[in-house]
Amino acid sequence: MSSPVRHYVGGRFDASGVPFPLIDPVFGRPAGELPAAPRELVDRAVRAARDALRGPWASWSPAERSRMLHRIADGIEQRFEEFVAAECADTGKPRDLASTIDIPRAIANFRSYADLTAGRSEQSWHTTTPDGRGALNYTVHKPLGVVAVISPWNLPLLLLTWKVAPALAMGNTVVAKPSELTPGTACLLAEVMAEAELPAGVFNLVHGGGADAAGQWLTEHPGIDAIAFTGESRTGGTIMRAAAARLAPVSFELGGKNAALVFADADLEQAVAGTLRSAFTHSGQVCLCTERVYVERPVFDAFAQGLAAGAKELSGYGPMISAAHRDKVLRYIDRAAADGDVLAGGGVPRFSDGRDGGFWVEPTVLTGLPEDHPAVREEIFGPVVHVAPFDTEEEALGLVNASPYGLAATVWTGDVSRAHRVAPALDVGIAWVNTWNLRDLRTPFGGVKASGIGREGGDHSLDFFSEPMNVCVKL
């Protein structure tokens, strides 16, 4: 890693803490060390954020905060190649993915919230009163306070900035903890914050694990006023219990077992190509990736064969994030192979070079498993997709909605009436029709059931990161 991994607390960089090894997922070899923050440093970060909340930052206008967010975006742009290199080094993802999605989207996160907060207006009402003189009611949005932002390893910078940008836009201060597996771009972001002259303590960064470490100490801390988290559903439950003790608000984007529906009237070539992308982007390590595909029976064989052929031809994909995660994915595949059919993949690719020491899994297409099978029911978060047939629209909806998760789904159909009928009937937070992962940052994003609480994006994020207050003035 080009830059050392450091904490950033109260405007100063700090390397204290017990070293934690960083492993390159491409080659499976040591790639550096991360200092795991001691509890004292987490306490200091929360205090620094609290002090900054009462300092000059409190008097900044929305326009001033907007200009700061644009300066931060400028700083990322100026160091674009450094961010791309750090993202690739940490995650093993292909450069074209990091350079066209992750880093540009991080820049867009700051710019979009800069523009939204600068142009946002408050509501007001003229209220009649018995004496006829009336009253004026108007709203004021105040910051929640000190916000803990905990982000995952799969899209490290994109998902970190997706929360930090709106939190800062609304005048909060932040203590961020990225995944201990992927700290690089968060460290560069702290450097950009310092270069942009963001007031000390407004943004703080601590590194470390979750349980009995920085993550737990942060979410349980009495000085944290709100928590924004993206990650595993089970971890979200643990954080929610910690937040409940002090009634702290939470925003959760959690796991998914996302489905695609392919109807017989769909453009089959387009559906296959779209599903290859939705199932295997970043080797399936994206919360929105498709893990279940239900295909109308008349086109099931053709679709399954096309998907399997496409999976076998894929190249340029990346590894799993760690040996432990690779082994978890392979356990699901091994059990599925014993109980169903493997149409493509199912093992570990061989490169005959240093990559053979890394954490790779082949793009895998499964079929023939019952709906209660772990590979169909549970989130795998790898390059694994199961394909099954359906006969009626009602059956298809039942199969998709039976999942305990409800993040996203995709509908492939040539019937516009069916598209408008089926998509709203899906128990998910976002449904795409004849596309996948097409995003407008102003729209609500989030899941239902075990896939999350609340919505992010546009005004939805700004609303979460602020407390609306009503002022009533008798005229």
**Does the active-site annotation cover 287?**
yes
Q: Which of 180, 253, 291, 456 is catalytic?
A: 253
Q: Which of 82, 287, 296, 362 is catalytic?
A: 287
Three-state secondary structure of the chain: CCCCCCEEECCEEECCCEEEEEEECCCCEEEEEEEECCHHHHHHHHHHHHHHHCCHHHHCCHHHHHHHHHHHHHHHHHCHHHHHHHHHHHHCCCHHHHHHHHHHHHHHHHHHHHHHHHCCCCCEEEECCCCCCCEEEEEEEEECCEEEEECCCCCHHHHHHHHHHHHHHCCCEEEEECCCCCCHHHHHHHHHHHHCCCCCCCEEECCCCCCCCHHHHHHCCCCCCEEEEECCHHHHHHHHHHHHCCCCCEEEECCCCEEEEECCCCCHHHHHHHHHHHHHHHHHCCCCCEEEEEEEHHHHHHHHHHHHHHHHHCCCCCCCCCHHHHHHHHHHHHHHHHHCEEEECCCCCCCCCHHHHCCCCCCEEEECCCCCCHHHHCCCCCCEEEEEEECCHHHHHHHHHCCCEECEEEEECCCHHHHHHHHHHCCCCEEEECCCCCCCCCCCECCEECCEECCECHHHHHHHCEEEEEEEEEC
**Does the active-site annotation cover 88?**
no
- List the catalytic residues: 253, 287
